[in-house]
Amino acid sequence: MSGQVLFIHGAGGGAWEFDSWQEEFERYGWRTLARNLSANGDLSGVSFLDYLSQVEEWVKSLQEPPVIIGASLGGLLALKAAESIPLRALVLVNPIPPAGFVASPRLAWPDVVAWSQSPLADTEKSMFDCTPESAARAHSQWRDESGRVLAEAHAGIDCRVPSAPTLVLISQLDADVPPGDIAAMAASYGSDVHFCKGMSHLGPLLGPHATEVCRVVIDWLGPV
């Protein structure tokens, strides 16, 4: 039986963020699962725990303890899920850090963050290390997000040190989540770290070197 990988996307995004990583993992014999976090009703009322429950249900559907790979908000969800779910390993890509490692929390968010209506220029600016085509594709797929989820996440979610082997990927030029906060978390947890030089928040997944970063993760995990 091949190993199982579960991908958890970030706020306002979707499973599509991991398209190139899924393809690469499957080339190396892994089975992969990437699904969209869902509001299941009024987006403004969705909480962090609502999303966490979805992640836990996805894991229950799998046949073996998976590798969970979470990006941004998905990284924080993965970290919290690791408290109660047996995992083979944990990979956090520019995660929103948990409580105790948030140096400058942003607490004010609208009820619904209308990222689906944001201008293309904003996406191109945040994805400065990506091709225009990649930025345009991402821009066309942004979805609105719950302000409550973001407020809770950025205020700091209490998380225990994961028992599973953990790799933390940190983009050197991340303008969305302070790299120093993530590095402090990784150092405190004793996690392995890979620095993505010159990359943006989404660069490891959607940038021109995404495949190379993915192979770093695959090599770290070892044989299927």
CATH number of the domain at 39, please. Answer: 3.40.50.1820
Indicate whether 42 pLDDT > 80.
Answer: yes
- Structurally, the chain folds into a number of domains equal to 1
- The pLDDT score that the predictor gives to residue 186 is 98
Distances (CA, A) of 63 to 13, 32, 122, 177: 26, 12, 41, 33
First to last CA, the chain: 9
Q: Whose CA is closest to 13, among 78, 69, 67, 71?
A: 71
- The pLDDT score that the predictor gives to residue 104 is 75
Indicate whether 81 pLDDT > 70.
Answer: yes
Each residue's pLDDT tens digit, 135-148: 999 999 999 999 99
Which structural domain, as residue segments, surrounds residue 89?
Answer: 4-221
Indicate whether 1 pLDDT > 60.
Answer: no
Each residue's pLDDT tens digit, 88-128: 999 999 999 999 998 877 768 999 999 999 999 999 999 99
Indicate whether 66 pLDDT > 90.
Answer: yes
The answer to whether the pTM exceeds 0.85 is yes
Q: What CA–CA distance (Å, rounded) separates 178 from 198?
A: 14
What is the arithmetic mean of pLDDT over 146-161?
Answer: 95
